[in-house]
């Protein structure tokens, strides 16, 4: 079993993000911690959080394990500390908050900058599907990070129908280097259909934008501190409150040194035993 954190502001988008997570993880072995930063009335926030927990337990019974955590406005650092110290498999949040501020909002920006683990941002207009199309984007110097997809290989085999992998490289890759990338993907997702796109630094930005605008793309997977992580982050910051992003942005955290030591040490999201 893995633990997943969800930060909520009780907005429509937070509810949709949580509903989507529960739908997608129905067949997986997970526990969910729900965290809220009370920026206004603490008593009202506590009542809302207790009501949400009661509703979730009523609807889902023992299918999931739920825990709730409430932080006062001056405890933002404590919230971040819990996220980084509780060994969560990942954190899921919505893109736009109740106040619908421009860009990603100050709290989400804090999470993006300070949370060290895997982070998924869900836009309000994201459509929940059984089968999904996903884009994985990273720079060639971080190609080892592809191995971290093993942590969600069961999930990807279960939910994804097609995978597009976009690699940014400064120089053209030779046949051996391309084959090495293909071998990694084939070993992780032997049953998946995938397309490998290798672009130089001049053309890669346009390729990414075109892929993000594709109507049939459901997920965009990035890697923390990679070129594409920073690029998409700037896109999110520049967006107005009524964002037109429809894909989930999943940012995977990785450590090159640990990957070289043992990729099998990576925590995995696994299907629930019947």
> pLDDT tens, 236-251?
776 644 445 677 888 9
Q: What is the mean pLDDT of residues 137-166?
A: 82
- In the predicted structure, residue 226 carries a pLDDT above the cut 90: yes
Task: Give the per-residue pLDDT at 152.
Answer: 77
Look up the pTM and report it: 0.84
Q: What is the mean pLDDT of residues 34-43?
A: 90
For the stretch 70-109, pLDDT in tens is 999 899 999 999 999 988 989 998 865 444 443 456 778 8
Could you tell me the strand order of the sheet in which 132-139 lies? 65-72, 30-38, 2-7, 90-94, 119-122, 248-252, 219-223, 132-139, 160-169, 193-200
Q: Return the percentage of the chain with pLDDT > 70, whole number.
A: 80
Q: Answer for the pair 168, 211: CB distance below 8 angstroms, yes or no.
A: no
Q: What is the mean pLDDT of residues 251-255?
A: 86
2-122 maps to which CATH number? 3.40.50.620
Task: Give the per-residue pLDDT at 220.
Answer: 87
What residue segments make up the domains of the chain, in order of their start?
A: 2-122, 132-248+256-265
Q: Answer for the pair 48, 11: CB distance below 8 angstroms, yes or no.
A: no
- In the predicted structure, residue 224 carries a pLDDT above the cut 50: yes
Q: What is the mean pLDDT of residues 207-230?
A: 84
Q: What is the mean pLDDT of residues 188-207?
A: 84
Task: Give the per-residue pLDDT at 230.
Answer: 87
Q: How far apart are CA 249 and CA 24, in angstroms?
A: 15
Q: Minimal CA–CA distance to 17: which of 273, 176, 269, 250?
A: 250
Residue-averaged pLDDT of the chain: 82
Comparing 155-169, 216-230, 234-248, the range with the smallest average pLDDT is: 234-248
Task: Give the per-residue pLDDT at 270.
Answer: 66
- In the predicted structure, residue 58 carries a pLDDT above the cut 90: yes
Q: Answer for the pair 144, 185: CB distance below 8 angstroms, yes or no.
A: no
**Across-strand partners of 168?**
139, 199
Strand 30-38 with 2-7, pairing: parallel
Task: Give the per-residue pLDDT at 49.
Answer: 95
Comparing 73-82, 170-179, 194-203, 252-261, the range with the smallest average pLDDT is: 252-261
The CATH number for 132-248+256-265, chosen from 1.20.1070, 3.30.310, 3.40.50, 1.10.10, is 3.40.50
Task: Give the per-residue pLDDT at 98.
Answer: 40
Fold: same for 2-122 and 132-248+256-265: yes
Task: Give the per-residue pLDDT at 102.
Answer: 38
Strand 30-38 with 132-139, pairing: unpaired
Q: Return the percentage of the chain with pLDDT > 90, whole number.
A: 35
């Amino acid at each position: 079993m893995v633990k997943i954190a969800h930060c909520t502001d009780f907005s429509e988008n937070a509810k949709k993000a949580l509903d989507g997570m529960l739908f997608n993880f129905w067949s997986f072995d997970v526990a969910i911690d729900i965290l809220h930063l009370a920026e206004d009335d603490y008593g009202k926030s506590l009542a809302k959080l207790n009501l949400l927990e009661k509703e979730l337990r009523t609807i889902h019974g023992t299918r999931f394990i739920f825990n709730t955590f409430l932080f006062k406005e001056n405890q933002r650092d404590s919230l971040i500390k819990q996220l980084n110290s509780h060994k969560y498999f990942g954190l899921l949040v919505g893109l736009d908050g109740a106040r619908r501020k421009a860009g990603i909002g100050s709290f989400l920006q804090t999470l993006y900058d300070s949370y060290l683990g895997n982070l998924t941002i869900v836009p309000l207009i994201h459509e929940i599907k059984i089968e999904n199309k996903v884009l994985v984007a990273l720079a060639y110097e971080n190609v080892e990070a592809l191995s971290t997809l093993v942590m969600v290989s069961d999930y990807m085999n279960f939910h994804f129908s097609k995978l597009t992998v976009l690699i940014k490289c400064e120089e053209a890759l030779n046949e051996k280097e391309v084959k090495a990338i293909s071998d990694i993907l084939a070993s992780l997702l032997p049953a998946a259909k995938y397309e490998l796109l290798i672009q130089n630094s001049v053309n890669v930005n346009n390729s990414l934008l075109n892929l993000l605008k594709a109507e049939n793309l459901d997920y965009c997977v990035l890697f923390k501190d990679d070129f594409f992580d920073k690029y998409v982050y700037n896109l999110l910051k520049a967006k107005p409150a009524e964002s037109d992003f429809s894909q989930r942005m999943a940012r995977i955290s990785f450590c090159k040194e640990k990957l070289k030591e043992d990729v099998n040490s990576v925590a995995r999201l696994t299907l629930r035993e019947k």
